[in-house]
Structure 1
Amino acid sequence: MTTSQAVLLPLAQATDRHLAGTKAATLAALAAHGLPVPPGVVIPAGVFARSVAAAREPPAAPLELPGDVLATLVEAVRPWGDVALAVRSSAVAEDLPGASYAGQYSTVLRVRGADALRAAVLRCWTSAFGDRVVAYSGGAGEDPAMAVLVQPMVPAAAAGVAFTADPVTGERDVVVIDAVPGLAERMVSGEVTPERWTVRAGRADREPGAEAALDPGSALAVAELARTTARLRGSPQDVEWAIADGEVVLLQARPVTALPVAPVPLPVEVPPGYWTRESSHAPLPWTRLTHAAYQPRMTAIRTAVAELGLLIDGVDLRDIGGLEYLRVVPLGGRDPVRLPDWAVPLAFRLVPVLRRRVRTCVAAIRADLPMHHIDLWTGQWRPRLETCAATLRDIDLGLLDDDALVRHVESALRLFGLGLSLHFRLHLALAMVLRELALACRELLGWDDQSWLRLVAGTSVRSTEPARALAELAAHVAARPRLRRLVEDPASDVLAEDADFAARFTGYLRRYCCRTLSYELAEPAIDERPDLVLALLRHQLAAGYDPRARDQELAGRRAAAATEARAVLAGHDVADRERFETALTRALAAYPVREDNEFHTVSAPGALVRRGVLELGRRLTRRGLLPGPMAAFHLRPPELLAALRLGDDLHALAARRAGERIWAMAHPGPAAYGTPPPPPPSMTSLPAEARFANEGFLWTLDRILAPVPEQGTDERVVRGIAASPGSYTGVIRVIHDETGLGRLCAGEVLVCPMTSPVWSVVFPSVGALVTDAGGTLSHPAIIAREYAVPAVVATGDATTRLHDGQVVTVDGTKGQVRIVR
């Protein structure tokens, strides 16, 4: 039998990637250079091809491992003794410089016995036809070429990955190591957060926070193996390693794909005025595409405040050193002269611009413009956005010619701009209506924010709709034992093995997941993360999430709060009781819009813009005008559209923009520039309507962007703002951004800087919530109340003071987090 027809190859002879796949061939070549690679055998790609061909012959049958191959394989692994085996896919097309396919194919660990070995090989083969691989490859119709590598499992004391260039900054003179005790699968699955080491100039430095896995000497040894691998392979490498019996062992090596370009310094030019970092929506530098898409914000805010007659011109947003800063623009554009108290009433009456604004504000409040906008949202604005988004969502972009694609992207950008305009008009309307109830409860009942919020919590039904629908899908799965086993096994390809479930799951993605997870449009939308949605489905199965029970609990809380209020007001006059009832009725109509509008105004239009930009990027990449589709996000829309029409080469511009963003990420600016302005003048001399509206605007800002309370002397207690009542004790999971959501496990305490509204889909998996920022009307606080999840916000630094694996008690009533152990 020739080599090309062999049923098995020793790893030492598996140097041809077309026979052995790239993974095995790479290890064979590195072992030949003396690197410490465990022994192994390879089932060549030819065996897979013959099995695929046999399965397609009439009558069609499932893939099968030929008996002679299995017998030969069992004999080949016998000399290794009674050890568990690692069975790993080794596709011909993976681990290449332009296409890593990392995580797309199957690996099966702890395999023992002939039957388990056969099943593991078949799982590796089957993964070549999985939806994830097809999507990654762009839907190419050619049959894949797949070999399988079998090795004895290494008894790892520690394991992980090492990058011979920083995958975030692109720095080449450093090795970045992620390590965990035991097997690296604990890190890949998200069970633990890895310990991170950086090795530079012979020095190993450890970042605090995670479970210890290495010492400095071990980190240096891992770095040396990684550097040797990179030198032999001729490019930066992503190296999988393990430490067994005190020695570092090489398990896999692949090129580091999409390595960032070198940083490009940006000038730091600070405009006049007082500027504060806008980190709630832009914690990292925007890509140029996202920055351009959000430009209508300033006009939208300026229009909204003028329409309501507020005493500011709007908000100015600027890039300073690549980071976004915000400045509230006074009327007329310049900071006003600080007037003595006696002169303020004269200014409101005599200064023309102030007088006009006050007149506008009085008229707007008397005409009840805020509730008019909320009614318009329900009756006109939301249906219009829904219809436009559905039309754009259902278009197959691959079938459009260039001109039609340009028009599609322009339509998506216009929809995004319209959504932003409505978003800010609604925000100001909500500020007025919700303050009515808060003020009535404070003046009539003596209630604080946490008390009056009980009256409305649980009414934001559209924001919780995705989780409700996922609960229905979970109930469908729970009623079918075989399907449940497939879903609960992260290694299974349930979408390929159950057509009915695949159809239901695809329908769920289409209906609820065409929405961005992040405000940054370069980050994947939810429907691009089916792995995350499947993980959330598993969490619901594990936790037994019951939305009906939660709804009943929240309805009971609302009823109890209303009964308590009415009991107190029974001793008041009719005017007080009517004031309370009117404010409550209006707030119940308005409060849900705070979260519910975001899907239609921001995240759904944003996902449509992202889709169009990615298609532009694919076409420009195929024509040699961009290095890759994601590079399109470093360009402004006019630059991309012009390149599609005129053939402009964008490589240099995209590289420079990417380098500027990398530099900005490595050089975060201060929290503020300039001298803070004096506090606003007293508004007591304004007409009642104008005073109410302007004080309401400031009241709302304070409850969205609340100051951090002072911390006490007890180091085991983290203090913040009580955002959602209740107490919960659980294990911490620190997640800094949307990319880490897949690490969240059911029942954990989510600790994060902030959440966007789209994170609501993960809340059935959350035991409690702790954030660095936010107030009682911030997105995380509202979402937590909608799911009856205890929450503490505005801690300032919980993401640095707390770490994965700690056990804490979150008291959402008192606003504190106590470290238990």
Structure 2
Amino acid sequence: MDYVLPLSDIALDDVPEVGMKAAVLGDLRRGGFRVPDGFAVTTAALHDALGAAEPGTAVTELPFPAGLPEQVAAALEKLGDVPVAVRSSGVSEDLAGRSFAGMYESYLNVFGAADVLAAVRDCWASGSSERITRYHQDFTDHPARVAVLVQVMVPATAAGVAFSVNPVTGQRDEISVSAVTGLGDRLMSGEATADEWTVRSGAVTRISGDGTVLDASDVLRVADVVAQVAEHAGGPQDMEWAIADGEINVLQARPITGLSAAEQIPVDDEVPEGFWVQAPNANAPSVPMQQSVFLPVFDASISNIFRYTTGGRAAARMINGRVYLSTLVDSPDEQVRGLEQAGARVAAGEPLAVIRRWNNELKGSFGDRIRAFRSTDLRSLDDDGFDRYFRDLVAMFAELHDVYFTLACAGIVAMGELGLAGQELLGFGPDQTFAMVGGPDGDHVPATTGLSDLARIAAANPELRTRLADGTVDEARLAEVDGEFADAFARYVSAYGHRTIGFDITEPTLAEYPGTLLNLVTAQLDRPDEVAKRKQDLAAAREAVLAKARARLAGQADRERFERALGQAEEGSALRDEKVFYAVSAWALFRYATQEIGRRLHAAGLVDRDDDGFYVGLDEGLAALHESTDLREAVRLGRGRHNWALANPGPKFHGQYGMPPSIEGITLSAAAQHVRALSSWSMTLQAPPAAAKDGEGLAGLAASAGRYTGPVRVINGIGEFGKLRDGDVLVCKETTAQWSILFVMVGALVTDQGSLLSHPAIIAREYGVPAVVATGTATTELHDGQLVTVDGSSGRVIPVTT
């Protein structure tokens, strides 16, 4: 009788013969997953051994059925006579609702037929142990049937467990990864403390450990495999894995038992009077720490966005976990007063003065302060010192955002002056106006050109180029291949990596994703000079538009007005991304400080996880450090409310929109009339897109001229930057300045949100990339690999039928 089955021949239907563990691994191996080779000793072997033995014979002394020793020896020879792992594979093991996890035995690094057969007997004995028998009898009256799985040992450099959903909170959109160096049995037995990570929407967060076992790119690879295993299995999975020779091996997979839904605690905030719009860039609800710090800053500074246009007032409020904005309705007298004040400021040259002060003083000062905060070793501070550090950081954070929104309005005015001049003097539309302003410029630009410089260094070293291209070198081993490149890469990460991708402290920084940055360098190996070429092309196109404009200007007064407006627009052209560059650098510091408060609270036994710091407020967290207050209940409430907000996005609007009282017929000064015209010009850039016609794809705002056909790549966050390939159509909700590092590879851009003055529109024009923004649904209606044509002149995204 055949008592041995090769793993390659085993399928899920073979559970009665080989047990659940072996059947699942055989099925995964047949499904294309990397599973170490091996074989199974069937349940019939134990059955026949028991049948042939004298009553009362101990399992460890059972005689082997005839033919089993020879079959095991032959199977080992086929594997190459290498060390193997010998593990029990129970028929009832790893079923949904009954895991038997940790109850059956495993024996590692077993060598030779004699020792393997001895381990087989020990596995049989584990199947009849009292703890398994009692556990088993909760489900069936039949005795446990045990097969034995024998597999080649893999030389693991790291191993662990991954859950396709968070087993603690039950969150279905969050993957958990645990990792230790070497073999995973050290984790299962409790001998080693693991690094613990969570992955959500491509974003990796380390919640405990020192982060030395895996880098973020490896965590993402493990998360991708467990997600594929769960999809293959049709339900949430708990997967044991090991990395050997750079490859991820699946060692075991089973349904997650005892899974409960993430606790959701409803939030029912009172909606303030008025008309409230969900903040356009707030794609996710704010965690409590962010609410406690950013909301007061946002509310205090948001009115600056109208300082040089309407002089109106705005407010920010948290409604059911999400930020909403409202423009307060003013009486006619208040509207006139606001317009007159704004007009006086513009007439006095305040917008240009603010831009020049930023260029000449403020950005340098904020840059120095940000670098000083970043250079502080947070772990070296005592709790009092950390308290002062965090509060000083919040004060700087508030100052920067006050300037941020004032600059945003000054930039609108500077571009509006050029827009009005072009419209009134030349009949130019917005697209021609934008074409007259310079290309990529500002302190944020080296973040993009620096990647091209790195690609140039790498391309000159054949070994490094090859190893980057085939993925056999990571950031930790760069110095072994090219010391110059390793040093340059480290300098780049230090200078430009400490930025969040969006205005959300739960999102990791680029410095936490060095592997992603390295992938972006690799993608430019064949075109390291592409950024310089695009700048030259844009400069040439700009000069052509300007020459045409200047040739059509009629008189001296017109030419002076045009050149004055052009000069102001050029002085403010870098503002859009440059202020974001500094702001997200401050957000990174905010994130790091939040991680540190969570680490301290966890170390003090006041919370359960390092990332619990995100789920308490600033004052609450700092006070707990001083007073040793247990915050577990506060964290439970914060997490529960955040989970509820994630599951309940809320309406786009609260309240009824009401037109402000008309001020028609009221006499305004020339200065007030001018700022009103500037406001009207800028508002035309916010016009909603026309609805798409049936069969013609998506419609949005035509944001950057040109037409391009290519494959779609939907990117939801930094963790997915590495998916982008040269020539892809980048599809995303929105972009910020940090996304600029992708544009050297982008063929076209499509976004859910935006306007002609939004970042995606501006950056697309700066890089000469066709773009359609404000489609509303591109990230949900388009999918990776889909071929589309993006028409940045008509605002259409059309699927291509092949």
- Under a length normalisation based on structure 1, what TM-score does the superposition of the two structures give? 0.70
498-507 or 675-684, larger mean C-alpha shift: 675-684
Question: Which residue of 1 is the match for residue 647 of structure 2?
Answer: 666
2:544 to 537, 543, 560: 560
**Structure 2 regions of 5+ residues with no counterpart?**
1-35, 42-82, 100-105, 117-150, 169-174, 184-194, 196-203, 215-219, 243-249
1:472 to 419, 433, 453: 453
Aligned residue for 1:766, secondary structure, equals coil
Aligned residue for 1:327, secondary structure, equals strand
Structure 1 residue 89, shift from structure 2 partner: 2.8
Alignment of 1:426-445 (within 5 A): 426-445=407-426
Cα deviation digits, residues 467-517 of structure 1 (max 9, x gap): 101110111111001111222233533522525233322211110111111
Structure 1 residue 779, shift from structure 2 partner: 0.8
Question: Which residue of 2 is the match for residue 678 of structure 1?
Answer: 659
Q: Is the 8 A contact 2:420 2:681 kept in 1?
A: no
Cα deviation digits, residues 305-324 of structure 1 (max 9, x gap): 4x548342x21222222222
Measure, in 1, the Cα distance between the counterparts of 2:488 and 2:671. 52
Question: Which residue of 1 is the match for residue 568 of structure 2?
Answer: 586
Question: Which residue of 2 is the match for residue 264 of structure 1?
Answer: 265
1:525 to 495, 506, 509: 509
Alignment of 1:390-789 (within 5 A): 390-499=371-480, 500=483, 501-544=485-528, 546-569=530-553, 572-600=554-582, 602-678=583-659, 681=662, 685-697=667-679, 699-700=681-682, 703=685, 705-713=686-694, 715-789=695-769
Q: Is the 8 A contact 1:309 1:359 kept in 2?
A: no
Question: Which residue of 2 is the match for residue 342 of structure 1?
Answer: none
Alignment of 1:220-231 (within 5 A): 222-223=234-235
2:458 partner amino acid: V
Structure 1 residue 274, shift from structure 2 partner: 1.0
Measure, in 1, the Cα distance between the counterparts of 2:450 and 2:225. 25
Question: Which residue of 1 is the match for residue 789 of structure 2?
Answer: 809
Q: Is the 8 A contact 1:459 1:588 kept in 2?
A: no
2:318 partner amino acid: D
Structure 1 residue 751, shift from structure 2 partner: 1.0
Pair 541,680 (structure 1): closer, same or farther in 2 beyond 3 Å = farther
Cα deviation digits, residues 65-120 of structure 1 (max 9, x gap): xxx99xx99xxxxxxxxxx999573747666989965589899xxxxxxxxxxxxx
Structure 1 residue 43, shift from structure 2 partner: 11
**Structure 1 regions of 5+ residues with no counterpart?**
1-7, 14-23, 48-67, 74-83, 108-127, 146-183, 198-218, 230-236, 242-248, 337-346
Measure, in 2, the Cα distance between the counterparts of 1:741 and 1:92. 25
Pair 105,579 (structure 1): closer, same or farther in 2 beyond 3 Å = farther
Measure, in 2, the Cα distance between the counterparts of 1:468 and 1:317. 36
1:675 partner amino acid: Q
Aligned-CA RMSD value: 4.1
Structure 1 residue 300, shift from structure 2 partner: 1.3
Question: Which residue of 1 is the match for residue 135 of structure 2?
Answer: none
Structure 1 residue 282, shift from structure 2 partner: 0.8
Cα deviation digits, residues 290-345 of structure 1 (max 9, x gap): 1222221221133564x548342x212222222222110134xxxx4xxxxxxxxx
Structure 1 residue 647, shift from structure 2 partner: 0.8
Pair 438,359 (structure 1): closer, same or farther in 2 beyond 3 Å = closer
Structure 1 residue 256, shift from structure 2 partner: 10
Aligned residue for 1:462, secondary structure, equals coil
Measure, in 1, the Cα distance between the counterparts of 2:772 and 2:440. 20
Structure 1 residue 691, shift from structure 2 partner: 2.2
Structure (1 or 2) with the larger CA radius of gyration: 2
Q: Is the 8 A contact 1:708 1:773 kept in 2?
A: no
Q: Is the 8 A contact 1:268 1:321 kept in 2?
A: yes
Structure 1 residue 659, shift from structure 2 partner: 0.8
Structure 1 residue 137, shift from structure 2 partner: 7.2
Question: Which residue of 2 is the match for residue 389 of structure 1?
Answer: 370
Measure, in 2, the Cα distance between the counterparts of 1:481 and 1:104. 34
Pair 25,660 (structure 1): closer, same or farther in 2 beyond 3 Å = farther
Cα deviation digits, residues 102-146 of structure 1 (max 9, x gap): 589899xxxxxxxxxxxxxxxxxxxx9xxxx999975499xx89x
Q: Is the 8 A contact 2:309 2:342 kept in 1?
A: yes
Q: Is the 8 A contact 1:595 1:757 kept in 2?
A: yes
Structure 1 residue 35, shift from structure 2 partner: 5.8
Structure 1 residue 10, shift from structure 2 partner: 8.0
Aligned residue for 2:285, secondary structure, equals coil
Q: Is the 8 A contact 1:734 1:751 kept in 2?
A: yes
- Under a length normalisation based on structure 2, what TM-score does the superposition of the two structures give? 0.72
Pair 293,725 (structure 1): closer, same or farther in 2 beyond 3 Å = same
Number of aligned positions between the proteins: 638
Alignment of 1:156-167 (within 5 A): none
Aligned residue for 2:452, secondary structure, equals helix
Q: Is the 8 A contact 1:100 1:255 kept in 2?
A: no
Cα deviation digits, residues 693-741 of structure 1 (max 9, x gap): 24424543553x542322223x233222111122221100122344433
Question: Which residue of 1 is the match for residue 287 of structure 2?
Answer: 287
Measure, in 2, the Cα distance between the counterparts of 1:514 and 1:630. 19
Aligned residue for 2:156, secondary structure, equals strand
Q: Is the 8 A contact 2:712 2:728 kept in 1?
A: yes
Aligned residue for 1:750, secondary structure, equals strand
Aligned residue for 2:324, secondary structure, equals strand
Structure 1 residue 251, shift from structure 2 partner: 4.4
Aligned residue for 1:731, secondary structure, equals strand
Measure, in 1, the Cα distance between the counterparts of 2:389 and 2:86. 46
605-614 or 461-470, larger mean C-alpha shift: 461-470
